[in-house]
Chain A
Amino acid sequence: MTGVNAETEAVFAELARIAEIAAGILDGEEVKRIIAEQAMHYVANPDPEHRYLSGDYFDADHELFLRTKKLLTRLERLGKVPLNGSVWVPIPGREEVTVAVQNGAYHRYYQFGQERLATPPEMKQVFANGQVLRVAPAEGDRLATVLAPVRDSLGDVVAVAEFTAPLDAPPPAWS
């Protein structure tokens, strides 16, 4: 990781430590059922004539959502740097992912109101090889991100956890 100073490297190292723990304790069986089936149907099948439909029908399993959110919160607090976590799940039948649950304002990928995101290459990599991955910072990047695989009971990677920390800027209060 050339061109990364020691301070940035320290942030990455901390994120990687958290991501390794997350990979071990997040339960893919629960994560993949957070978004309600009907809600995921509308996320996966957007209607160009009625673009708010998936928002209209968005719903989550209260218990699974809350349990994962609390776990993300605990993971964040293990960190020695401020960071936030989110969990991304694949959208069935599409080369896209959507957020199942998130915390706080530090995010690399999430744009306010976003329902679908073309799976970024680094996430594809995590889905494919099941390894924790540091996202190489781009020039001028103000965020550091490490991704972790989330496995189900069969060992399949069914979600990706994102841990993102600021490098030099406070988060916007309004996201």
Chain B
Amino acid sequence: MSPEKGSWGLEAGNEWVSRGPLGAVKPADVSKESFSVGHEGGVVLRAARNGYVSFRLWVIGAGEYRLAAEFPGGLEADLFRAWYHRMAADGREQARAEHCADALVLVEPGAAASLPDPDNAIEAQTHQEYWVDVFVSADAPAGTAAGRITLVAKGARVELPVEIQVLEAVIPDEDVLVCDHNSYGCRWLAGMYPSVFAGCADEPGRWARTIELLQHYYRICHEHRGLFSNLGAGHHGGFDPIYGPAARGAGRERRLEDWGLFDRHYGPLLDGSAFAAAGPGAPRPRRPARPAWGVYTPINADWPADYLWWGQPGYEVEFARGVGQFDEHFRRNGWLTTRPYFFFNHKKRYRWFEWDGDEPKYARDDAYWLEMGRLFQQAVGDTPVPWAFRMAASWQMKHHFEQLAGVVDFWVCGGFAGWYPDEIRRVVARGDVVWTYSGTPGIGEPSAALLEHVWRMWARGVSGHCEWLTTNPGPDPWFHCDGAQTGMIYPGERFGIAGPIPSARLKLQRNAVQDLNLIHARAKAAGRLEKVRQKLGKSVPVSLWERPPPIVRQQPPELWDSHNLSATQDDNMARHAGLDPLWWVPIRRAALGGEVSQ
């Protein structure tokens, strides 16, 4: 039944439970538990400083309205209108819902909206979901801060009081985990942002706009306590000129030239200045403008050394000169904080190279890795540039942890990581960086499903997790959504925003990182980090490690396959434990420590 025109309401709920456009809880978010943010007609939330506290808000009514938020000094509220993605037939079945909310559009102050939302085009829509972010600055006074959300419509005014209990605790700027958002190349941008590129036929102009858009992706991830990673080189080794200089000359004359586009692209990421400005349609930056944690480089088997000479003296000379000049460019510019990656992404199954640079399966390919490690070390020596030799480790990870020790020092491990708790602990203990990787649960899944990755990395004691693709929400995420498993960052184009917009999933991930930052910092300060990790690890129902299947125990990786493992890599990537939608609540409580009474 539709609300009568002129009858308006505001309701609030926790961040993990979404509701559909007719007011029903998203089927996957129906919980046996409850976690209310309400208290005597208003919202009451606790928050640490230097971070966000969030809740979902539903406007209920019919007609035109305006929504505003007011908070006292030290607190700022951002209202985001949620988009209800109409699910494609397959996705609808999986989601058990016609529509799921995810993409978020920042509400401009004073902007009018309507219910039903004509843009979202849902007949008989009665509810509009909003995501409310309240930023509590590091210097906000501890204590109670009273704010409110106000809805104004013709002949109606509805107020929702919001009380934020600001805690003494301050969320550290440095994240204990890296939530990595991976992406490939830049040619997808032209299709996603036709307005940005409209009327721009000249090549320099197109590259300038491409760089600008990519930097917005870096910004949105940075603001959400994550990292954007954009790999420029394709499997064949080629890349667009924004990803690297030109390699000219051969042999002893090999040299890198034309750094202009590279510097324009990466300079602001490597000195941190890119993060001092807001992206379009985004609130002002609240995170410190610091250099990115790490970036891909265009270095690959065919660049800067010519693969024609692989195995011959010319390759070694070209490699040493090219990589050496790359390193020297970083030193000269003072880019000594961000980790540039020495990384291979090619797979032999694509037939450009005869060895696996990504997820190597055959131990006989090790010779290539060892040789690349030798060449790399020879090229950069004891440089102050914090290079990281990154490997997407998979089939052979257990063997490679030993065989490539001292060569690879940044391991991004596939789903098989769950079989190797002791080995991973040893690799972490020797000072290597260890991350995991996977896909992202789609929007029909429980909203909190993607937090399993966040939890698992901290509980396992690894320091990052790469979601292999987060910028491609599908050909039509708005009205024919495939679940958007490869896109928790959406293009803002259809909302007139010349850059990416966030999602509820991205914000849930950010809030989870905040929680773990707090837990980690407090436990570490008390000298109890491992005890706390173990204790929480046992109480949270996310499996951390598992016994490998028989084939793994009995045969070498060369003989494993998606059949005898009973799962493909992709199955592993998409898997989640089907936990209760409110499974994160105990972690939130732990994060807010003894100061939490709920």
Residue positions of A touching B, CB distance < 8 A: 47, 49-50, 52-53, 55-62, 65-66, 69-70, 73-74, 86, 99-105, 112-113, 115, 171-175
User: Which residue of chain B has the shortest Cβ distance to A64 in the bound complex?
Assistant: B354
Rounded to whole Å, the gap between the CB of B306 and the closest CB of chain A is 8
Q: Which of B40-48, B106-114, B228-236 contacts A (4 or more CB under 8 A)?
A: B228-236
- Kindly list 14 other residue pairs between chains A and B, CB separation below 8 angstroms, not including A99-B351, A102-B352: A50-B562, A50-B563, A53-B561, A53-B563, A55-B349, A59-B348, A60-B348, A61-B354, A104-B238, A105-B234, A112-B350, A113-B349, A173-B243, A175-B238
Given known A-B contacts A173-B232, A173-B234, A113 and B562 have beta carbons under 8 A apart: no
The interface residues of chain B lying within 8 Å CB-to-CB of A113 are 349-350
A103–B185 CB distance below 8 A = no
Given contacts A59-B348, A174-B184, A174-B187, contact A103 B562 (CB under 8 A): no
Check A172 against B354 for contact (C-beta < 8 Å): no
Nearest residue, chain A, Cβ from B570: A52
Say whether, besides A105-B234, A173-B240, A62 and B184 are in contact (CB < 8 Å): no
Do A59 and B351 contact each other (CB < 8 Å), given the known contacts A105-B236, A173-B186? no
Complex: A59 Cα to B363 Cα, angstroms: 12
Find out whether the CB atom of A104 lies under 8 angstroms from the CB atom of B236.
Answer: yes
- A101 and B351: CB pair below 8 A? yes
- Between A and B, 28 residue pairs with Cβ closer than 8 Å are A50-B562, A50-B563, A50-B568, A52-B569, A52-B570, A56-B361, A57-B561, A58-B349, A59-B348, A60-B351, A62-B364, A66-B310, A69-B307, A69-B353, A69-B354, A70-B308, A100-B351, A102-B352, A104-B236, A112-B350, A172-B185, A173-B186, A173-B234, A173-B238, A173-B239, A175-B235, A175-B236, A175-B238
Total number of B residues with any Cβ neighbor in A under 8 Å: 35
- In chain A, what residue has the closest Cβ to B187? A172
Residues B240 and A74 in contact, CB atoms below 8 Å apart: no
B348 & A58 in contact (Cβ 8 Å cutoff): yes
CB closest chain-A residue, reference B571: A52
Residues 232-265 (chain B) with a chain A CB within 8 angstroms: 232-236, 238-240, 243
| Cα distance, A105 to B364, chains bound together (Å) | 27
| Contact between B352 and A52, CB atoms less than 8 A apart | no
* CB-CB nearest in chain A for B351: A99
Contact mask B346-380 → A, CB, 8 Å, 1/0?
00111111110000011010000000000000000
CA distance A162 to B364 in the complex (A): 29
When chains A and B are docked, how far (Å) is the Cα of A110 from the Cα of B349?
13
Whether, in the assembled complex, B313 has its beta carbon less than 8 Å from a beta carbon of chain A, the answer is no
Does B311 make an interface contact (CB < 8 A)?
A: yes
| Complex Cα gap A10–B234 (Å) | 29
Q: Which residues of chain B are near A52, meaning CB under 8 Å?
A: 561-562, 568-570
Complex alpha-carbon distance, A172 and B189, angstroms: 12
Bound-state Cα–Cα, A169 to B27, Å: 47
Contacts of A70 in B (CB 8 A): 307-308
If A50-B563, A104-B238, A173-B239 touch, whether A74 touches B308 (CB-CB below 8 Å) is yes
